[in-house]
Structure 1
Amino acid sequence: MAYRSEFYAFDQEKIVPIVIRNYTKEDFDELIQIQAECFPPPFPSELWWNKEQLTNHVTLFPEGALCVEVGGELAGSITGVCVLFDPAYPSHTWEDITDNGYIRNHNRQGNTLYIVDISVRPKFRKLGLGKCMMQSMYQVVIQLRLDRLLGGGRMPGYHKVADHLTPNQYIDAVIKGEMKDPVISFLLKCGRTPVSIIGDYLEDEESLHHAVLMEWKNPFK
């Protein structure tokens, strides 16, 4: 089912039109450019989206391939995949659960919408687009009657305090408001709640390779 939502956001006092919709093959070049802007060098360019991955997104699970436009300009995207998740066995890596971003493991009988990636162009990051796209994915969860939305959140502030805090202590401090983390605090504002800490989730020196598995439960299930 096609997704399209039109609304307005405020850029200080300026009102700007916003559209969230499914991305298509016509958007691929711009989506790759957005990745380049969001993950500039020294981040390796081979880890940006490639056209094979994007083609899989729009053919295997188009419902989970959403982008956002600001005044007609593509400003960001969010991508998901359906998986069968057992809360009793939460540990996994990003590569395994997303098929390294190719989502060939997409499971139409899955119970969970797993977030593969979310990116917003730096110049648009004050508009709250990330939260808007996340809320759109919650609507997809409800439409598809899934149990939850799930994803591993990086904790890039952790390396600054890792000498005296464990990952769990760090997340507890963020939840209590004693610290702020660029990613985890954002996900909390989006309504996501922590499930568990996962080690060796992703090659990520800032997070010391940890991630926080965070979910949003379908309130109608």
Structure 2
Amino acid sequence: MEKIQKKLIIRNADVTDLNQINAMVSRSYKDESLAYKGTMVASQITHFKQGCFVAEIDGKIVGYCATLRISGEKCLKEHSWREITGGGFGSTHDSKGEYLYGYEVCVDPEYRKFKIGQRFYNERKKLCRFLRLKGIVFAGRMPNLKKRIKEVGSVENYIKAVKEKKIRDNVLNFQLRNGFEVIGYMKDYIPGDLESMGYACHMMWKNPEFEDENITNSSKKTYKPSIDEIGSVRVATVQYKQRKVKSIEEFEAMVTYYVDVCSEYKCDFVLFPELFTLQLLSLEPEELPHHIAIEKMAEYTPKLTEFFKFLALKFNINIIAGSHPVKNSMGEMNNVSFICLRDGTIHEQAKIHPTPNEQYWWNIKGGKELKAIQTDCGPIGVLICFDSEFPELSRYLVDQGIKILFVPFLTDERKGYCRVRYCSQARAVENELYVVMSGSVGNLPNVPNIDIHYSQSCILTPCDFPFARDGIAAEATPNVEMVSFADLRIDTLVESRNTGTVQLLKNRRHDLYSVEWHGKS
């Protein structure tokens, strides 16, 4: 074990800690199936940063603790870990829940003599007192159960023997010493936990400072929303007109104009259409074969990313730069959206599902990663055109905490447009989030596959009382070059998710189904 030079601190986790947390979790679990996958930890922090903690020694993260807020109706009845945590994403967090629910405490094996678990429990209790909640609930493992079940005869007898100190169980003993009471046990809590035979001990700590008053009013007074739940976000969608340009400087001048306009309107985000940069193919003296044209466009990638980064910094606006053909490290062509943030950061999101035309004419391959993008206005997601027609993708992003989804698209006629439009509206309703769409209009002769366009860019909302009557916050005139704006109230969206007419996300059956990402993320 390394000697500690400075001090051990417990602090709230941040998405910048992800690499260290994931590495530490992997070291801590002997069974890799119990470790977190991909974006789960980022999602847990995004949903309730106030309840996620890390232990840090000399800059090294040696422990992680995850908590969410939930109603007694859900956490006091029988449930599974998957059901109560939204499959490990923490997406079941309820900002008005009257209990904290602990679903992870993980400590680096080399640092388990520093009472880090005890420190995490203390932080949870402090948070519970601060929020004036009823208490803390969780379901604890019983790692010696399989070894002793024949001796004691039943799970109930095992718990009784541990309480009477006839059997030693380090996990259960620790929780009892911390003032938690046994309120029962649950079967199939984590089926893969073979040592506990899938069972878990259902436990509760009651907040001694809780005053038995109307819990809803108490929550309203004390709940402090995270930064991405406060106020409004102003977004703009550019319905961009395709026409022949004489130079790349002419293209840059038009894009700069739109970014400048959106900045003058004090927008936080501006969205451009899918593959709108293919306008640069009009610079060629004659029509290029498909495979040569797409290779030619990929050569512009470094110049264009620097250009959009410069605009984001200069005009203090987050730019979703439509999409552009990019050759990846494997030599394959992807359709990639560059998200250029106003702090100078650049993120990429590849199109997961290329259309048949993209695959046939341009040999575009599908991307393999899908992540929420952290911005100064909270996490966002980007799905390029056809990807919006696959509901699993948007649900996976919502599990990661997004509240705004950006959909750059490219359609040549109304039927194709309607597929993207109707599916995007469905994504807004079923996920209770905002969806921003941007497409191109106009004509581009001598550029194959994008010579004609049809678009009606729009900004969509859920369909409930706090939002626009028809679920449309703003909408462009079809096939006319223009910019549409809308102020999106994030706090209203959060309120609707918790108290709206139907509350779709809260009513998901995590015990029956889930969205699981099988690839790298």
| TM tier, smaller | 0.7 to 0.9
Equivalent residue for 1:84, pick from 36, 57, 71:
71
Aligned length: 207
Corresponding residue number in structure 1 for 2:14 = 24
SS at match of 1:36: helix
Cα distance per residue 1:6-33 (max 9 Å; x no partner):
xxxxx9xx89622110111111001001
- Distance of 1:164 and 1:56 partners within structure 2: 41
Within-5 A mapping of 1:101-140: 101-140=88-127
SS at match of 1:67: strand
TM-score, normalisation: structure 2 = 0.38
SS at match of 2:66: strand
Residue pair 1:115, 1:149 contacting (<8 A) in 2 also: yes
- Distance of 2:128 and 2:74 partners within structure 1: 17
Within-5 A mapping of 1:1-221: 17-40=7-30, 43-44=31-32, 47-86=34-73, 90-165=77-152, 166-203=154-191, 204-221=193-210
- Distance of 1:84 and 1:28 partners within structure 2: 28
Cα distance per residue 1:140-159 (max 9 Å; x no partner):
11111111111100101011
Between 1:186-195 and 1:15-24, the stretch displaced more is: 15-24
Between 1:49-58 and 1:70-79, the stretch displaced more is: 49-58
- Distance of 1:192 and 1:72 partners within structure 2: 32
SS at match of 1:110: coil
89 and 127 in structure 1: CA distance in 2 versus 1, 3 angstrom threshold? closer
Shift of 1:58: 2.2
Cα distance per residue 1:145-186 (max 9 Å; x no partner):
111111100101011111132111111111111111121112
Code of the residue aligned with 1:67 in structure 2: it is V
133 and 88 in structure 1: CA distance in 2 versus 1, 3 angstrom threshold? closer
- Which runs of 5 or more residues in structure 2 are unaligned? 211-521
Between 1:180-189 and 1:110-119, the stretch displaced more is: 180-189
Residue pair 1:28, 1:51 contacting (<8 A) in 2 also: no
Code of the residue aligned with 2:205 in structure 1: it is W
- Distance of 1:111 and 1:159 partners within structure 2: 34
- Distance of 1:93 and 1:103 partners within structure 2: 13
Shift of 1:89: 5.2
Between the aligned residues of both structures, percent identity stands at 26
SS at match of 1:108: coil
Cα distance per residue 1:29-73 (max 9 Å; x no partner):
010011111113xx235x422442222222221111101112332
SS at match of 1:92: coil
- Distance of 2:116 and 2:160 partners within structure 1: 26
SS at match of 2:167: coil
Shift of 1:87: 8.4
Residue pair 1:90, 1:196 contacting (<8 A) in 2 also: no
Residue pair 2:75, 2:137 contacting (<8 A) in 1 also: no
- Distance of 2:5 and 2:76 partners within structure 1: 45
Structure with higher Rg: it is: 2
SS at match of 1:162: helix
Corresponding residue number in structure 2 for 1:7 = none
Shift of 1:114: 0.6
- Distance of 1:90 and 1:220 partners within structure 2: 24
RMSD: 2.1
- Distance of 1:115 and 1:84 partners within structure 2: 13
SS at match of 1:130: helix
199 and 67 in structure 1: CA distance in 2 versus 1, 3 angstrom threshold? same
In terms of fraction of residues, the more strand-rich structure is 1
Code of the residue aligned with 1:63 in structure 2: it is Q
- Which runs of 5 or more residues in structure 1 are unaligned? 1-10
SS at match of 2:7: strand
